[in-house]
Amino acid sequence: MSLASLILRNGKNGFGFGTTAEQVTAGLDLTGKSILVTGSTSGLGEATARVLSQRGARIFAAARTTEKAAALCRTLSGAPYPVACDLADPSSVLACVDDIARSGVVLDAIICNAGIMALPQLELAFGYEKQFFTNHIGHFLLVTRLLPQLAPRGRIVMVSSDAHRMAPRGGIDFENLSGEQSYTAWQAYGRSKIANLLFAKSLGQRLQPGQSANAVHPGVIMTNLQRSMSPFMRTMMQLGEPLFLKTVAQGAATQCYVAVHPSMTENGEYFADCNVRQPRRAARDRELAERLWQVSERIVAEVTGSAPVH
């Protein structure tokens, strides 16, 4: 537990920086709930899947491959459902949607947790910068196609980051989605994370009354996410861990809170430390959110060879 956990005060709902996923779900009976978690094989996704399954939820555990998802499911309680979903591969995402639809499940929550961060060199997926494509477009395709499976009070949770503040001026540089005009690792990550926020905002407007879409910042936590960072940066993080960083259990708390807690009634908001937080101004720009939605629809149509669905 870091020093920050000890000195920062909790928010209005009694939860805060130091709250763990176990604590935020204590006393909840999630029996009968079905929850899809992407990136469930590592870090915050794994902790989220484990805690929610311990509370009785049936976890639909998405991972890059069926083997990885099945291995994770062997460690979860209940009757978890492994599903392959490589977010950087639209055919894999569509196969995942088909698999889940065929299962007949009604999803109470979709936790869009998978992500990659700060790739040192520009990498492309289908002609688009890979973090934007994986973190945003992959989840956009998955969620918009799964909406028919969402429960009447279903919740979408986009795991964003305070690193959305590193996105380019104006939020999204639509003319540079390939990254080929300019590329810096953190700006590209920030752009993908502001896209998660903007997606939650515009999705929240489109959902049925009772359903919600929100974005979260989990905190800063040592996980496999830092694999692309330089050894120097990783060492600095390790040194700062006892002072400022969260544990994985604390990092998973905000997404668990937004996905299942009965006191969570917001829609289109941004959460950190289990409470609403104000994101950067561009992340609150409805016109920008709408433009991103239209551009994402066009990209999805282009890479799947299909017509837009919403």
Catalytic site positions: 183
CA gap 140, 264 in Å, rounded:
23
Answer yes or no whether residue 43 interacts with ligand NAP by CB under 6 A: yes
CA gap 202, 223 in Å, rounded:
30
Instruction: Give me the least distance between CB of 188 and ligand NAP, in Å please.
Output: 12
Residue position matching structure tokens 């899947």 = 49
CA gap 171, 166 in Å, rounded:
9
Q: Which is nearer to ligand NAP, 42 or 176 (CB)?
A: 42
Instruction: Give me the least distance between CB of 209 and ligand NAP, in Å please.
Output: 28
Residues 130-189 that bind ligand NAP (CB under 6 A): 134, 159, 161
Q: Which of 61, 83, 88, 282 binds ligand NAP (CB under 6 A)?
A: 88
The residue range among 139-147, 176-184, 213-221, 280-288 that interacts with ligand NAP, by the rule CB under 6 A, is 213-221
Given the DSSP bridges, would you call strands 107-112 and 34-37 parallel, antiparallel or unpaired? parallel
Q: Which of 30, 51, 87, 264 binds ligand NAP (CB under 6 A)?
A: 87
Q: E-strand spans in 232-286?
A: 270-272, 275-276
Q: Which is nearer to ligand NAP, 39 or 90 (CB)?
A: 39
Contact letters (x/-) for ligand NAP, 57-76, by CB under 6 A?
-------x---x--------
Q: Which is nearer to ligand NAP, 86 or 129 (CB)?
A: 86
Cα-atom radius of gyration of the chain, to the nearest Å? Answer: 18
| Residue 273 vs residues 90, 255, 258: alpha-carbon distances, Å | 32, 9, 11
Q: Which of 223, 208, 236, 214 is nearest to 283 (CA)?
A: 214
Answer yes or no whether residue 218 interacts with ligand NAP by CB under 6 A: yes
CA gap 177, 188 in Å, rounded:
9
Q: Which of 19, 53, 113, 254 binds ligand NAP (CB under 6 A)?
A: 113
Q: Which is nearer to ligand NAP, 30 or 112 (CB)?
A: 112
Instruction: Give me the least distance between CB of 161 and ligand NAP, in Å please.
Output: 3
Instruction: Give me the least distance between CB of 136 and ligand NAP, in Å please.
Output: 10
CA gap 81, 131 in Å, rounded:
27
CA gap 136, 242 in Å, rounded:
31
Q: Tell me the three-class secondary structure of 162-206, residue by residue.
A: HHHHHCCCCCCCHHHCCCCCCCCHHHHHHHHHHHHHHHHHHHHHH
Q: Which is nearer to ligand NAP, 161 or 296 (CB)?
A: 161
Residue 245 carries which DSSP code?
P
Answer yes or no whether residue 223 interacts with ligand NAP by CB under 6 A: yes
What type of residue is 228? S
Size of the site for ligand NAP (CB under 6 A): 28
> Could you list the residues that contact ligand NAP (CB under 6 A)?
38-39, 41-45, 64, 68, 85-88, 113-117, 134, 159, 161, 217-218, 220-221, 223-225
